[in-house]
Chains A and B, each alone.
Chain A
Amino acid sequence: DAKTTQPPSMDCAEGRAANLPCNHSTISGNEYVYWYRQIHSQGPQYIIHGLKNNETNEMASLIITEDRKSSTLILPHATLRDTAVYYCIVRAQISSGSARQLTFGSGTQLTVLP
């Protein structure tokens, strides 16, 4: 699975959009980009994933560049409850029936400020 690079920390004002970048310059054609977050003392929470098209759900939007070497997670209206460590993970789609791990890095500590 390709390696990802994220800034260690970011701040965002409450009510503003939070844009979290992730670099995955060695990504392969069959690798998906996943985003999770972990609020203190809780398990990682799945946010969104995508292959090459931009994706949106009720939590966030995922923008993947055309060359797929980087992506941005967008929280459109950040709240104090969005303060967490955000992880960008790349994992390949493989043959059916095989369960594999997610490799978590250090992530980005997002702090939403009042």
Chain B
Amino acid sequence: ETGVTQTPRHLVMGMTNKKSLKCEQHLGHNAMYWYKQSAKKPLELMFVYNFKEQTENNSVPSRFSPECPNSSHLFLHLHTLQPEDSALYLCASSQEGDRANQPQHFGDGTRLSIL
């Protein structure tokens, strides 16, 4: 149990569907992240939220839309995805501030398959 919970664990959707991934952290952290891990490729950062403000968007296509309503919850809204978007989507959180060396803690991810 890492303190970061992602739902659903698995998701299969068609290219025209709209779905959302959810992440909740129970660690009292103030920063949250979305990463993408494609088969046999390193993790790629997608979005960063620090104190509920989006501070980084790594050239992610607009078919991925993040939302951070509070410091404990993070969503990734999906629409009109492509087959190459099939991957493991990982959420992480960390405590940023005076002690900026604190580690990120990850959830177990959502395995997304696009038909």
Contact = CB atoms under 8 A, between A and B. Distances in A.
A95 B103 contact: no
Nearest to A30: B101
B50 A98 contact: yes
A9 B76 CA distance: 34
B61 interface: no
Contacts, number: 71
A99 B101 contact: no
Contact of B90 (A32, A43, A98, A103): A43
Interface residues of B, number: 32
A44 B101 contact: no
Interface residues of A, number: 25
A45 B31 contact: no
22 contacts: A34-B103, A42-B109, A43-B2, A43-B6, A43-B90, A43-B106, A43-B107, A43-B108, A44-B90, A44-B106, A46-B105, A93-B101, A96-B98, A96-B100, A98-B50, A99-B33, A99-B56, A101-B35, A101-B58, A102-B92, A102-B104, A104-B43
